Amino acid sequence: MDQLSQTLGRFGGVNLLPVAVALIAFVLIGAPSSWVTLTVAGLAMGMMIFLMASGLSLVFGLMDVLNFGHSAFVSFGAFVAASTLAYFGGWLGSGSVALASLALIFAIAAAVMFGMIGGWFFETVIIKPVYKDHLRQILITMGALIVAEQIILAIWGGTPMTVPRPAFLEGSWIIGDVSIEIYRVFALVLGVAVYALLYLVLNRTRIGLLIRAGVENREMVEALGFRIDRLFIGVFMGGSALAAMGGATWAGYQTLIDPTLGAEMMIIVFIVVIIGGLGSIEGTLLGALMVGLVSNYIGFLAPKMALASNMILMVAILLWRPAGLKPAIK
């Protein structure tokens, strides 16, 4: 048994979980074409959730701040991007790939900008006064979430909003009898690119070094002469921007969004960071991929179970590893 776990560890340990899940699903599903479609869908969904969850996880890891208002940035990102796309509707409909891409870039940039500014505001005004006080933190960020949702309702109204998307992201690629939605590939590529960027920043830069050290032991980093609280604002803004970007991508994926989007995603985001282990980017990615894959496979294999699948996944993983799959070392 020990030998087995050692061998597994050498090949990547818990990193293999999504692969194992995919393999089991392959056997259960039986039809390779459906399996490919579902796997792509699961990975795409996982990467979008990763975008939404990574900031929450880092913010918690670095400052022990649990931001229940995080999902507000997901909602705002979705609506800001949708409105921007609607504003550039002419470019989208012009038939020019360049113009449509530009509109898409503008939309995502607008969401990201909003996330940064909103994140700055949120950190300075809402969260700073309640550092180190978990009870009030949860209450205040929850209050902020209520207010944010109401603001979204006041601005965009309660009726669902259609999200226009560039023509070149519509439709599917058909390879043999496998059909792959192009938008999913786009989401997947975007997510991987962001992950790669985050990975490089965290592992190859001095700021990243400070963040990693700060997640582990904030006090010691301060005792070495660095102001973690100033670094934290940056991380918070970045995390909020990522959440907004995740929301923007999700909006394009759903094509029909309403103000409850943030609240719905919040649950999944929480499950992901709990599964992955708070404070670690690798863990968050792992958790997001697991949730994405499992919900797509189960949705196909046993639609009635789809809803509870995330919850069951979470309980199973917590029973096995109470601190999550890959928690940051504390």
Dihedral, CA atoms, 15, 18, 21, 23, nearest 10 degrees? Answer: -90
Q: Per rule CB under 8 A, is residue 89 in the interface with other proteins?
A: no
Q: Are 167 and 157 in contact (CB under 8 A)?
A: no
The region of 6-14, 170-178, 250-258, 306-314 touching other proteins under the rule CB under 8 A is 306-314
Q: Per rule CB under 8 A, is residue 257 in the interface with other proteins?
A: no
Of positions 78, 103, 198, 210, contacts other proteins by CB under 8 A: 210
| CA neighbor of 324 nearest in space, from 269, 283, 291, 289 | 283
Q: Per rule CB under 8 A, is residue 135 in the interface with other proteins?
A: yes
Q: Are 257 and 161 in contact (CB under 8 A)?
A: yes
The region of 9-17, 31-39, 45-53, 140-148 touching other proteins under the rule CB under 8 A is 140-148
Query: What is the spatial distance between Cα 284 and Cα 286, in angstroms, rounded to a whole number?
Result: 5
Q: How far is the CB of 198 from other proteins (least distance, A)?
A: 16
Antiparallel, parallel or unpaired: β 161-162 and 172-175: unpaired
Q: Per rule CB under 8 A, is residue 311 in the interface with other proteins?
A: yes
Residues 6+ apart with CB under 8 A from 194: 50, 51, 54, 242, 245
Q: Per rule CB under 8 A, is residue 132 in the interface with other proteins?
A: no
* Helices within the chain (DSSP H only): 2-10, 17-29, 32-63, 70-87, 89-93, 97-121, 134-156, 182-204, 206-216, 218-223, 228-254, 261-276, 281-301, 306-320
Q: Map the footprint of other proteins across residues 150-179, applying CB under 8 A.
A: 150-151, 153-154
Q: Per rule CB under 8 A, is residue 204 in the interface with other proteins?
A: no
Q: Considering beta carbons, is residue 269 or 289 the nearer one to other proteins?
A: 269
Question: Which H or E element spans position 217?
Answer: none
Of positions 28, 89, 134, 170, contacts other proteins by CB under 8 A: 134
Q: Map the footprint of other proteins across residues 13-52, applying CB under 8 A.
A: none
Q: How far is the CB of 111 from other proteins (least distance, A)?
A: 22
| CA neighbor of 271 nearest in space, from 325, 196, 193, 232 | 325
Binding footprint of other proteins on the chain (CB under 8 A): 60, 66, 68, 126, 129-130, 134-136, 138-140, 142-144, 146-147, 150-151, 153-154, 206, 209-210, 212-213, 216-217, 219-228, 263, 266-267, 270-271, 273-274, 278, 304, 307-308, 310-311, 314-315, 318-319, 322-323, 328-329
